[in-house]
Each structure stands twice: as C-alpha cells, then as structure tokens.
C-alpha cells in the first residue's frame, strides 16, 4: 500500500432507496451463505496444528509475526536476487546510499519492486533455467531512500529538484536476465537484454485515445507520444511474450487546482490534484495540470513492453481503458481471442476485462504486435444470486453517447470510470489482482479492503460494511469461455481473524497462523493451487505474508501461511518457475510506516548495515531438498 492510500472518487456509490433495500436483502443472503461454511469463526480457530490436514500442502506454517526480517518454513531457503540500487546496466556504480543521483539510479535497479514476470530464454523455449525477469518499480519511499527528508508526505513534497529526479529514475521498470545453477539464481552481468524504464522513457500511445484532443499537450501536439510510466503496480504477460505493466495511482504525481480544471467531471472522477505525494510539478510543467491540463490523461494505462527487444518503444494500449490499473492477467478464449482481466484499485471501483477483436497467432509473433488495439472493454456487474454480467463499454451503445459526454470511443476509454458508472457496474472493495487459474478455468478477484463502505453501501459481492480485511471472489465464466459476457461468482475466502472479525470466512481447519488480511497479488503454481500475497497486514497487527491454499478437494480455501515479510513491507510479484521448484517474491517498501525515515528506519532489511536504509528486494525461495515449493 502506498502510505497515502487511494482517493475515493466514485460518488456513484451513493445509492437510491430502492437499491438500498435490494442490497440489504442481498447482504442478508450473502451473510447467511457465509455462515454455512464459517463454523470456524464461531469456534475461534483451532490452534496451530500441523498434524493431519485436509490441505495438499505439507510445509510447516510460519507463525504470525511483525518483526524486522522475513520468515519461511525451516526446510526452505531464501536468497536475495537483486536489491534497489544494484547495477542493471553497463557502467552502473555499486549502490552507495550517500552518493545517489538520477544518472546512477537510471542505471541501477529501481525502488519498490512490485510485479515480477518471467519470459523464457531463448525466446519461445520451455527452458527452466534462463529467463528475462521483468520487474515493476511502483513508487518511491523518498523518506527512506534519501537522507534528511524527514517523515511523512509533507516532507516528501519538500524534496529538492535533484531528489525529484532521483525519484523519477527510480520509478518504472527493469528487465534483467537471470540464470539458475543448482538451486541458486544469479543476475547475468552485461546481458544484452538489460533495460531500465523510468518516468522519462519515450513511449507511444496506441488505440482509440491516440491522437484524441484530450491526449494532446504542448510537448506532443499530435497526442501520440508520451514520456514515461509511473506507479506501475502489478501486471501480466501476453501469450506472445510481451510484458503488460499497469499504471495505478497516477493522480499522486500531478499538482494543480482541480476546481479550475476545464473538464471537471473527468478530473474529479480520477482524483486529479488530490493527495499529491510528489513534488514533480514544482520542477516540471508537465506535472502541473494548471499548465498542462491533458498530461494526466496520458497516464493510468496498460503499457505493453517487449522484453526481447531492448530498443523497442513501450506502447500505452488505450483500448484497455484508463483507471488505477492493478494487474492485467490473460486467458485465451475458446476461439483464440485474448481476454485480459483487470482491477481498478480504489475504493468503490470496478472490475474490467478486455477481449481482443481477433484471435492471437501462435505462429506469427509480428501479427500480434497491435492485437491489443482492437477489441471490447467490459465492466463487471455482480448480481444477487451469484451471477456476473460483463457490460460492454462501447461508444454509441446504451448511455455512452455524446449527450452524456462520450463523443467517441476515445472519451469512453479516457473516462472508463465514468462509463462504468453509467452502466451501473458494481462498486468493489479495491480490486487488486484479477487472475485466471489455467488449471480450473476460474478467475480469482482479490479485493484488498474498503474501510469506507457504509452499511447502506453493501452489495452482494461486497457484503461487509467497513471491510478492513478484504475478500476473494471466485468467478466461473459461462461454459468455461472467458469471452462469455456471463458467469457465476461466489466468495472464496473473506479476510480477518476468525472469531474476532465479523464475516471472516475460511475452511474450518484454518489454523491460528493461517488467517490473512488484505489480499493483493495472487499467483498459481502449476497444479493450479492458489497463493495469496497480502498488503496492509499491520491493520490486524501482523506482518504481510504469502499464504497458500487449494482451490479444489478437501483443502479448498484452507489458507496456510508460507512466508512472513519484514516490518512495513508488503509481499508482491509471487511467481513460480514452470517446475514449481523456485518461487520469486518482490518485497516492497520494507520499513514503511509512521516515524520511519532514512535515519531511523523501522528495519534495515535485507542488509542490516548500520546507517544504511532498507532496500526493496527480489527474493528467491527454494526448498532445501530441491523439492516442489509448498510440496
């Protein structure tokens, strides 16, 4: 979680009396449904029994903790693969926290590693020992990165220009080449694929918004080119091996007076000018929307990057809509079209999917190059009775007309949230990863939390008011086809401490160490078992962690804690090698929290070097006997 969290800008969550009655009734139904399986809540959980379990996992659970370092089961090993500041490009100096500059940071691994993707080398191979790893660098904890900043958002806004330029160079992404020898992984020095992308990297704008009047700025009168990406949270990959990286809370970066913005409806709906967390607008006019009113419209997109072509220009794929993109995981529909699932991670925002117009070609990579420019963007409505309907966001259909402010498909994608409002999509409890499980064909929607939901705002798929602990929905597409506009849904797990937090829902055997709070990124091993990473465990007094559970059989929804993260950090990017024998984790913002600064960090993980700050890092986790992770 960014320590400033998100902005509530969806006022359409305000509801009519009719809807209120309907929602109250449906909440009763949903809670009754939970009660049937949540016997455990009443029992207060059973002690941390490691004995005979219905779970298919055999690892010994890690206890709930909240301390300066990480924890795995005893028979597992943790290796640090790469840390913020480690060299990525030729000529990069070794990390020295007292000698930072934008020029050195641009050659080094960026800050706050979030999404991790693996792309096999050689391209198209099924090799398991050599990969390009792609990494998002979501944001910077400048208070922890740089000496002398002090505590909190206000202090960060006083950063000088040199500091702001370091921040810009620490955002974006990295491509690194990694190889395995035995159980050890290392970064290949001097790889021809190595790349850093940051807030100033030239990018192309493609799809319906390209060239639109709302995308034009003084630096780009054609509205087709933009510098950089930032707040890239999670992501995904295409079937043709490109990286999809997701711009999330981009409103934090733009200074200006929202009340004076020419397009009030759009600026408000995207929180532009609210909760500004960076000083970039003081030094660079494009981050001041009083001067460049359209620059914010050029952020908040899915960016496609080809990691195999280090010189290629990243492309913002506007057909997939503009919002606080968390992730972008795909499934292939029965007819070969590609379906990308996406969440808009703010309170009361929506779940989306994009279906390409054409099937992808497994034999002609070049034919897929612009596949993501054409297709249909849908937003989800979760109905009572467990039905989900995907509503198309198409200009000219239903309310998406010029009278309502949508003169073109460009208006629809730039203002996707407003289009979703008009179609009465379901306001959710912060949709994070929305990821299809290739083994069972179902889609898992991590809903992190929503402490702002009032009792009159509950709906069937978000049945808890003041939902501090989040939940996970499971969607079954109709006829198993991801292109279908219908499906069914149910609540798979509901977070919180059983017996303490109302509505917590788990398998009855879940131990006192196995409950979780605030699900964020999810991943699947090759058996289709679900791994859940959390963000914001401190709300329940516990460290964030990684939890594993079955999705089928007697251990379904029996979550077990596999990893506990260092204080102040969240767990991101869980991804397995195809052989399930290595798990990579991205540990983001170690030491974040009140009172924690460069000088007095809450932890100095992972180096624990006196006087040096903590460093976001990518971890390699293996089983000491070389076995399957989680076994």
| Alpha carbon distance 53, 516 (integer Å) | 18
With CB cut-offs between 5 and 8 Å by kind, which of Ca ion, ligand FEO, none does residue 138 bind?
A: ligand FEO
**Backbone φ, ψ for residue 362 (5° rounding):** -70, -15
Q: At its nearest, how many Å lie between ligand FEO and the CB of residue 570?
A: 8
Instruction: Based on the shown chain and the rule CB under 5 A, indicate whether residue 518 belongs to the binding site for Ca ion.
Output: no
Structure tokens at 490: 């149910």
With CB cut-offs between 5 and 8 Å by kind, which of ligand FEO, Ca ion, none does residue 521 bind?
A: Ca ion
With CB cut-offs between 5 and 8 Å by kind, which of ligand FEO, Ca ion, none does residue 410 bind?
A: none
Residue from 61, 304, 345, 429 touching ligand FEO (CB under 6 A): that is 345
Three-class SS of residue 631?
coil
Q: At its nearest, how many Å lie between Ca ion and the CB of residue 4?
A: 12
Whether 57 and 623 have beta carbons less than 8 Å apart is answered as: no
Contact pattern for ligand FEO over residues 308 through 327, marking x by CB under 6 A = ------------------x-
Instruction: Based on the shown chain and the rule CB under 6 A, indicate whether residue 435 belongs to the binding site for ligand FEO.
Output: no
Query: 476 burial class (0-12, 13-18, 19+ CB within 10 angstroms)?
Result: middle
309 Cβ contact partners less than 8 Å away, ≥ 6 residues apart: none
Could you please report the per-residue DSSP string of 596-629? --SSS-S--TTT--TTPPP--EEEEEEETTS--T
Task: Kindly tell me which of 420 and 487 has the beta carbon lying closer to ligand FEO.
Answer: 420
Structure tokens at 322: 């503009």
Residue from 144, 233, 332, 380 touching Ca ion (CB under 5 A): that is 233
Residues between 234 and 293 with contacts to ligand FEO, criterion CB under 6 A: 248
Instruction: Based on the shown chain and the rule CB under 6 A, indicate whether residue 432 belongs to the binding site for ligand FEO.
Output: yes
Instruction: Based on the shown chain and the rule CB under 5 A, indicate whether residue 535 belongs to the binding site for Ca ion.
Output: yes
How many chain residues interact with ligand FEO (CB under 6 A)? Answer: 7
Task: Kindly tell me which of 232 and 373 has the beta carbon lying closer to ligand FEO.
Answer: 232
Query: 580 burial class (0-12, 13-18, 19+ CB within 10 angstroms)?
Result: middle
Residue from 165, 247, 292, 433 touching Ca ion (CB under 5 A): that is 433
Whether 206 and 370 have beta carbons less than 8 Å apart is answered as: yes
Residue from 304, 306, 349, 520 touching Ca ion (CB under 5 A): that is 520
Sign, CA dihedral 83-89-93-98, equals negative
| Alpha carbon distance 51, 439 (integer Å) | 28
Task: Kindly tell me which of 324 and 425 has the beta carbon lying closer to Ca ion.
Answer: 324
Task: Kindly tell me which of 187 and 229 has the beta carbon lying closer to ligand FEO.
Answer: 229
Q: At its nearest, how many Å lie between ligand FEO and the CB of residue 251?
A: 13
Furthest CA-CA distance within the chain: 66
Q: At its nearest, how many Å lie between ligand FEO and the CB of residue 266?
A: 22
Contact pattern for Ca ion over residues 310 through 349, marking x by CB under 5 A = ----------------------------------------
With CB cut-offs between 5 and 8 Å by kind, which of ligand FEO, Ca ion, none does residue 433 bind?
A: Ca ion
Task: Kindly tell me which of 76 and 531 has the beta carbon lying closer to ligand FEO.
Answer: 531
Instruction: Based on the shown chain and the rule CB under 6 A, indicate whether residue 205 belongs to the binding site for ligand FEO.
Output: no
Structure tokens at 554: 């007697």
| Alpha carbon distance 18, 10 (integer Å) | 19
Residue from 92, 164, 170, 233 touching ligand FEO (CB under 6 A): that is 233
Structure tokens at 211: 């060239």
Q: At its nearest, how many Å lie between ligand FEO and the CB of residue 169?
A: 20
Could you please report the per-residue DSSP string of 57-116? --SPPPPP--SSS-B--TTEEEEEEEETT-B-STTPPPP-TTS--HHHHTTB--SSEEEE
- Judged by the rule CB under 6 A, the positions of this chain that interact with ligand FEO are 138, 233, 248, 326, 345, 432, 520
């Amino acid at each position: 979680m960014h320590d400033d969290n998100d902005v509530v800008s969806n006022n359409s969550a305000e509801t009519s009396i009719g809807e209120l009655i309907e929602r109250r009734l449906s909440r009763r139904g949903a809670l009754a449904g939970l009660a049937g399986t949540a016997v455990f809540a009443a029992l207060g959980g059973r002690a941390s029994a490691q004995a005979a379990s219905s779970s298919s996992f055999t690892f010994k659970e890690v206890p709930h903790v909240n301390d300066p370092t990480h924890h795995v089961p005893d028979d597992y090993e943790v290796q640090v693969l790469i840390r913020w500041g480690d060299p990525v490009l030729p000529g990069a100096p070794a990390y020295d926290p007292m000698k930072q500059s934008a020029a050195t940071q641009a050659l080094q691994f960026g800050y706050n590693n979030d999404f991790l993707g693996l792309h096999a080398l050689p391209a198209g191979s099924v090799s398991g020992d050599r990969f390009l790893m792609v990494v998002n660098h979501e944001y910077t904890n400048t208070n922890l990165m740089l000496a002398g900043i002090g505590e909190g958002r206000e202090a960060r806004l006083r950063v000088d220009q040199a500091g702001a330029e370091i921040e810009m160079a620490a955002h974006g992404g990295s491509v690194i080449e990694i190889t395995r020898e035995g159980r050890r992984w290392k970064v290949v020095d001097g790889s021809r694929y190595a790349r850093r992308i940051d807030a100033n990297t030239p990018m192309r704008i493609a799809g319906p918004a390209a060239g639109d009047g709302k995308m034009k700025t003084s630096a780009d009168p054609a509205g087709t080119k933009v510098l950089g990406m930032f707040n890239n949270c999670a992501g995904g990959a295409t079937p043709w091996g490109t990286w999809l990286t997701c711009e999330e809370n981009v409103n934090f970066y733009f200074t200006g007076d929202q009340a004076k913005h020419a397009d009030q409806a759009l600026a408000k709906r995207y929180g532009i000018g609210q909760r500004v967390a960076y000083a970039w607008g003081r030094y660079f006019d494009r981050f001041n929307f009083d001067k460049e009113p359209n620059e914010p419209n050029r952020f908040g997109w899915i960016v496609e990057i080809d990691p195999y072509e280090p010189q290629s220009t990243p492309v913002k794929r506007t057909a997939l809509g503009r919002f606080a993109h968390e992730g972008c995981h795909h499934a292939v529909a029965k007819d070969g079209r590609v379906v990308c699932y996406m969440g808009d991670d703010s309170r009361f925002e929506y779940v989306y999917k994009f279906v390409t117009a054409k099937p992808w070609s497994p034999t002609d990579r070049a034919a897929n190059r612009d596949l993501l420019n054409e297709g249909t963007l849908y937003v989800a409505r979760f109905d009572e009775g467990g039905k989900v309907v995907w509503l198309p966001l198409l200009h000219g259909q239903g309310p998406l007309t010029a009278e309502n402010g949508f003169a073109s498909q460009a208006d629809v994608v730039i203002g996707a949230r407003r289009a979703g409002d008009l179609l009465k999509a379901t306001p959710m409890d912060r949709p994070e990863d929305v990821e299809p499980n290739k083994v069972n064909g179902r889609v898992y929607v991590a809903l992190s939390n929503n402490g702002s939901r009032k009792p009159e705002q509950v709906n069937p798929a978000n049945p808890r008011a003041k939902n501090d602990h989040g939940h996970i929905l499971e969607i079954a597409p109709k006829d198993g086809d991801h292109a279908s506009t219908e499906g069914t849904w149910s609540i798979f797990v509901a977070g919180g401490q059983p017996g303490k937090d109302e509505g917590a829902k788990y398998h009855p055997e879940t131990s006192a160490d196995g409950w979780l709070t605030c699900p964020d990124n999810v991943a699947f091993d090759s058996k289709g078992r679900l791994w859940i990473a959390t963000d914001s465990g401190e709300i329940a007094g516990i460290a964030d962690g990684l939890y594993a559970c079955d999705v089928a059989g007697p251990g379904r929804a029996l979550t077990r804690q596999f990893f506990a993260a260092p204080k102040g950090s969240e767990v991101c990017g869980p991804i397995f090698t195809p052989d399930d024998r290595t798990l990579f984790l991205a540990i983001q913002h170690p030491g974040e929290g009140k009172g924690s600064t460069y000088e007095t960090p809450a932890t100095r993980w992972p180096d624990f070097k006196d006087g040096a700050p903590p460093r976001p890092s990518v971890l390699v986790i293996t089983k000491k006997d070389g076995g399957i992770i989680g076994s």
